[in-house]
A and B are shown apart, each in its own frame.
Chain A
Amino acid sequence: MQSFQFYSPNYLEDALKYIADRKQTCRTLAGGTDLIPMLKKEEIRPDYLLNINEVGELKGVEDLDNQVRIGATTTFTEMIESETLNRFFPLLVNAAASVGGPQIRNRGTIGGNVITNGPCADVLPGIVALDGQLELQSKQDGRRLVSVADVLVTAYETSIRSDELLTGILIQKPVQGTKSGFEKLGRRNAMAKARLNLSIALRQDPNGTISAVSIVPGAVMPVAVRMNDVESMLLGRKPTPVLIQAAADKLVEVVVNTAGIRWSSEYKVPVLKNIFKRVMWRVLAEDPQ
């Protein structure tokens, strides 16, 4: 590994100043589960490494009035153990629990999952499904909020500027009655990168009509994105086996049209359909929060 200068500030202000002065020559190190292998393979050769794990302002889950803030360096383990997340966003807890093994969950962070923007990310699709906002901070512009969906350019690429730091993820607390589900399929039982995952959040009227729905498949699209065409099929209608089957067909149609037919499609198409139907029915059968 090519050497670099290492900086580990305790305060956000110092971190922002550091990247403002160095921009592209500097990389930010959080959990390191993606970045450290890249450094070893010399796929990246930064001159400066900024360790943000000691910055207190970036750590932990905060229950704000009508939203929840998850600090960027909150680990997957900390997410799983957060009472606030278990209460408001079980979808994110389940997604975090599906990441790697314990060692990876103890180091890997929610901010890293967003910034890396890997197609196989487990938590990022859940954040997209919940319309999460990113809190970005820079020395030059201070704090700005952007919708997570707006910064995901393509696989492994975001539009976040090199002088900006992702400091937190903000998610509106769910409207009463919201239900959600997550399922992941990996190559190795409890470990491994997702070959496919699915995040769903929805609400139903008292008469059963679907009044809000958000569907985000992971690992089958270049970036995590809501399936608007599928969602609009379901909105305002009562779930029936025919409707859910049609939605499953539409989902794979959108995925295949966007991502193209690939060697794995033969496997992924029927599996995605089945997982979609299973998660939908499970979520529909659940009691609302």
Chain B
Amino acid sequence: MTETIGKTKLTFTVNGRETEVLVDPSWTLLRVLRESLGLTGTKRGCEEGDCGLCTVIMEDRAVDSCLVMALQAQGKTVETIEGMGHEHALHPLQKAFIEEGAVQCGFCTPGMIMSSEALLRQNTHPTVEEIKVGLSGNLCRCTGYTKIFKAVAKGSESGGRL
């Protein structure tokens, strides 16, 4: 790759679709997802990797999209909450979060679900302790986590995938 000056083309796969977008080198992946691609399910929180609101899956791993420069995603595969399921065909984790009442204000939920999905890809039947470690990079300020852990356990019974 040659050095890029000013806006440059980022080509990557977002939720299974090859995507091209012009980005400034100073933009983060979070900014591109939200502002260039309109994928606002990924939330913007602390902007320094503490809260996990902006969690997406990149190359099968959970990452804070606020701590990835957009151009670092060049050629990579990125998955956001929009790729997990939709209103009429919920992802098992989304279904489990709703059924368990693991959503209060809902702001942390997309990040929680992306971290849970990344966990379940590595470990299809996690223990509660493993779920806690898997979600330790995500803060929730409403529910107290218990219902979230339950929801992940429930989602894992189906392998966490559709």
Contacts and interface: CB of A to CB of B under 8 A. Distances in A.
A103 to B, nearest CB: 4
B151 interface: no
Interface in B67-88: 67-69, 71-72, 74
A90 B67 CA distance: 28
B74 A8 contact: yes
A102 B62 contact: yes
B68 A7 contact: no
Interface string B32-59: 0000000000000001111010010000
B134 A4 contact: no
Interface in A98-118: 100-104, 106-107
A190 B133 contact: yes
Tell me which of A4, A77, A104 has the highest count of chain B C-beta atoms within 10 A of its own C-beta.
A104
B93 to A, nearest CB: 16
Contacts of B118: 102
B64 A107 contact: yes
A5 B135 CA distance: 35
Contact of A6 (B25, B50, B136): B25
B5 A2 contact: no
Interface in A249-288: none
Nearest to A41: B48
A6 B62 contact: no
Nearest to A14: B1
A36 interface: yes
A49 B66 CA distance: 17
A209 interface: no
B63 interface: yes
Interface residues on B, range: 35 or more
B71 A190 contact: no
Contact of B25 (A5, A31, A189, A191): A5
Given A2-B26, A101-B138, A107-B64, A51 B71 contact: yes
B69 A29 contact: yes
B68 A107 contact: yes
Contacts of B67: 31-33, 36-37, 103-104, 107
Contact of A3 (B25, B49, B61, B68): B25
Given A32-B69, A37-B48, A37-B49, A104 B64 contact: yes
A2 B24 CA distance: 10
A49 B25 contact: yes
A10 interface: yes
Given A5-B25, A190-B133, A191-B137, A101 B72 contact: no
A37 B47 contact: yes
Nearest to B55: A103
Contacts of A190: 132-133, 136
A103 B26 contact: no
Contacts of A3: 6, 24-26
A7 B2 CA distance: 7
A104 B61 contact: no
B63 A4 contact: no
A107 B68 CA distance: 8
Interface of A: 1-10, 18, 29, 31-33, 36-37, 39-40, 48-49, 51, 53-54, 77, 100-104, 106-107, 189-191
14 contacts: A3-B26, A4-B26, A6-B4, A6-B71, A33-B49, A36-B67, A37-B48, A100-B137, A101-B136, A101-B138, A103-B52, A104-B64, A190-B133, A191-B137
Interface of B: 1-6, 8, 24-26, 28, 47-50, 52, 55, 61-64, 66-69, 71-72, 74, 115, 118-119, 132-138
What 3 pairs across the A-B complex have the smallest Cβ distances?
Answer: A101-B137, A190-B136, A6-B25
Given A6-B4, A107-B67, 13 more contacts: A2-B26, A4-B25, A32-B68, A32-B72, A36-B28, A36-B67, A37-B47, A49-B69, A101-B52, A103-B52, A103-B55, A189-B132, A189-B136
